[in-house]
């Protein structure tokens, strides 16, 4: 027999009453739209350092992108409040379309402006995503008298499971369309990016079918008629208030680490571990394995999220997996050939995907539970600190060794987990006690 959480949604429309919104349908649409958009962007990002090598155009563009992302994340919540989360999602998709299109004619005059704009677009699409998903979960729980934390975890699990599979799907498309040519050249890039432009367009169109969330559902939205000055003042008050909240201060290190570990797998892992043993052609396969395990773990972690206690256990498990991988690479990494040379990076990719899936689902669920009165501001903080950490890796990675990066990662993981466990075991209990 199905439990209350698993019971199918029945949409009723009594006479003279407004129909109940199908919230599960909206999460299906949101998840599919992000998969279509990010299978294109994720694969394009993986290729930047290999196809746009002149003057380090590819890596420099990505560094500029994430710096722009970090800066724009400060104001992203204001934009989302003005537009509404659905409109912010649609507008945000245009940045990914422009960035992929710029790769058809890659030069400093196309890639840099596209990267700057994508930083803005990414900030609002991710704040919009966090706000839309959490408000949808809360509305679904309210309409059907279900546990709010359970539904937030379930919806995050579905979304991040679908999202994580973009690495698998996007890299398969790349492997199918790109070919190694003579003299180290590649063919099929134009066709590849045209296909990616098509998938992003389809994803943006799909977002138009999302139900519009009301201001009541998206707690913290301001009156659209308010003056711009008043909105900016309110925004900075929100930022300052969140940064004065001990709960946010304790979760920021974990947010920053989540960005570090993502940039590590995109840049350092492929450069130092995959390419020396599997060659450039092996990058797609390794990242596909990473995407599969990321997607599976996201779905499983979301299914078992019931509240702060379950989040603590799941995050601790994912952290232990990544800590073991970091120690393994630091103490025993060496370039080997044969079967072990193939299995070694694939196993690391699989284990790292497990940790990333945990962090993605649980951070979103954690912020949705702790900061339900200011979702836009909380998810803006999430993307601000993530993008800051990612930008650091892209800019500093070429100048430090793999061993130095591993030590930094290990120290960041220990620091972030100490703050997180103190938050969930001590601080939040004090906040809950005061609220009673």
Dig out the tokens for 180 from the structure: 């190694």
Q: What is the Cα–Cα distance from 205 to 199, expressed in whole angstroms? A: 10
Are β-strands 186-187 and 179-180 bridged in parallel, bridged antiparallel, or unpaired? antiparallel
Q: How far apart are CA 127 and CA 31, in angstroms?
A: 15
Instruction: Delimit the domains of the chain by residue range.
Output: 23-211+246-433
Task: Give the CA radius of gyration of the chain.
Answer: 21
Q: Which pTM does this prediction carry?
A: 0.74
Amino acid 374: pLDDT: 78
- H or E element at residue 259: helix 246-263
**pLDDT per residue as tens digits for the range 255-303:** 999 999 998 988 788 778 887 887 766 777 788 888 889 889 988 888 8
Q: What is the rounded distance in angstroms from the CA atom of residue 341 to the CA atom of residue 22?
A: 49
Please answer whether residues 376 and 127 qualify as being in contact, where contact means their C-beta atoms are separated by less than 8 angstroms.
yes
Neighbours of 23 (CB within 10 A): 24
- Distances 125 to 168, 173, 261, 349 between C-alpha atoms, Å: 22, 24, 21, 27
Residue listed under structure tokens 């402006």:
113
The rounded distance, in Å, linking the Cα atoms of 189 and 168 is 18
Residues facing 187 on adjacent strands: 179
Spatial distance between the Cα atoms of 111 and 49, rounded to a whole number of angstroms? 13
Summarised one tens digit per residue, pLDDT across range 331-340 is 887 777 667 7
Q: Torsions phi, psi of 180, nearest 5? A: -80, 130
Q: Which residues are within 8 A (CB) of 352 and not within 5 positions of it... i.e. 6 or more apart?
A: 261, 265, 269, 290, 322, 325
> HSE of 16 in the Cβ direction (CA atoms, 13 Å)?
0
Asked if residue 213 lies in contact with residue 195, where contact means CB atoms within 8 angstroms, the answer is no
Please check whether residue 190 is in contact with residue 30, taking contact to mean a CB–CB distance below 8 angstroms.
no
23-211+246-433 CATH fold:
Growth Hormone; Chain: A; (1.20.1250)
CB 153 within 8 A of CB 306: yes
What is the structure's pLDDT at 285?
A: 79
Residue 179's SS3 state is strand
The angle at the Cα of 287, spanning 282 to 292, to the nearest 5 degrees, equals 130
Query: pLDDT 10s per residue in the chain (436 long)?
Result: 444 444 444 444 444 344 557 888 999 999 999 999 999 998 888 777 767 767 778 878 888 998 998 888 878 878 888 888 899 999 999 999 999 999 999 899 999 999 999 999 999 999 899 889 988 998 888 888 888 888 888 888 889 888 888 888 888 888 778 765 554 455 678 888 999 999 999 999 999 999 987 655 555 444 444 455 556 666 667 777 888 888 999 999 999 999 999 989 887 887 788 878 877 667 777 888 888 898 899 888 888 888 888 899 999 999 999 999 999 999 887 777 667 777 888 999 999 999 999 998 899 889 888 887 777 778 878 888 988 898 888 778 778 888 999 999 999 999 999 999 998 887 666 555 454 4
């Amino acid at each position: 027999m199905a439990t209350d959480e698993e019971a199918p949604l029945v949409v009723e429309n009594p006479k003279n009453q407004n129909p109940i919104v199908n919230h599960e349908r909206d999460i299906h649409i949101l998840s599919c739209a992000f998969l279509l958009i990010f299978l294109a962007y994720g694969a394009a990002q993986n290729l930047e350092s290999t196809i746009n090598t002149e003057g380090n155009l590819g890596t420099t563009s990505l560094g500029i992108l994430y710096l722009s992302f970090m800066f724009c994340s400060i104001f992203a919540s204001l934009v989302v409040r003005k537009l509404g989360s659905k409109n912010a999602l649609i507008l945000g998709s245009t940045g990914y379309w422009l960035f992929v299109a710029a790769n058809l004619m890659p030069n400093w005059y196309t890639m840099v402006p596209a990267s700057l704009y994508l930083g803005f677009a990414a900030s609002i699409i991710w704040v919009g995503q966090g706000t839309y998903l959490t408000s949808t979960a809360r509305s679904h729980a309210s309409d059907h008298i279900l546990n709010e934390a359970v539904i937030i975890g379930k919806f995050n699990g579905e979304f991040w499971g679908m999202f994580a599979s973009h690495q698998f799907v996007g890299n398969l498309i790349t492997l199918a369309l790109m070919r190694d040519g003579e003299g180290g050249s590649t063919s099929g890039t134009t066709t590849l990016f045209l296909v990616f432009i098509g998938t992003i367009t389809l994803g943006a169109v799909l977002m138009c079918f999302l139900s519009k969330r009301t201001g009541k559902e998206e707690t913290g939205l301001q009156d659209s008629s308010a003056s711009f000055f008043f909105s900016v003042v309110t925004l900075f008050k929100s930022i300052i208030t969140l940064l004065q909240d001990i709960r946010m201060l304790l979760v920021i290190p974990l947010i920053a680490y989540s960005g570090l570990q993502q940039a590590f797998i995109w840049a350092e892992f492929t450069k130092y571990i995959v390419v020396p043993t599997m060659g450039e052609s092996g990058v797609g396969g390794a990242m596909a394995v990473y995407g599969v395990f990321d997607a599976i773990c996201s779905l499983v972690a979301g299914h078992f999220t019931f509240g702060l206690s379950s989040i603590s256990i799941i995050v601790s498990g994912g952290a232990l997996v990544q800590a073991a991988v970091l120690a393994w690479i630091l103490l025993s990494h060496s370039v080997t050939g044969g079967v072990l040379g193939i299995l070694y990076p694939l196993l690391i990719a699989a284990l790292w995907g497990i940790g990333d899936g945990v962090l993605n689902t649980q951070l979103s669920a954690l912020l949705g539970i702790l900061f339900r009165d200011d979702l836009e501001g909380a998810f803006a903080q999430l993307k601000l600190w993530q993008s800051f950490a990612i930008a650091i890796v892209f800019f500093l990675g070429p100048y430090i060794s793999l061993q130095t990066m591993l030590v930094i990662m290990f120290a960041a993981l220990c620091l972030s987990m100490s703050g997180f466990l103190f938050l969930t075991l001590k601080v939040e209990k004090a906040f809950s006690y005061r609220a009673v």
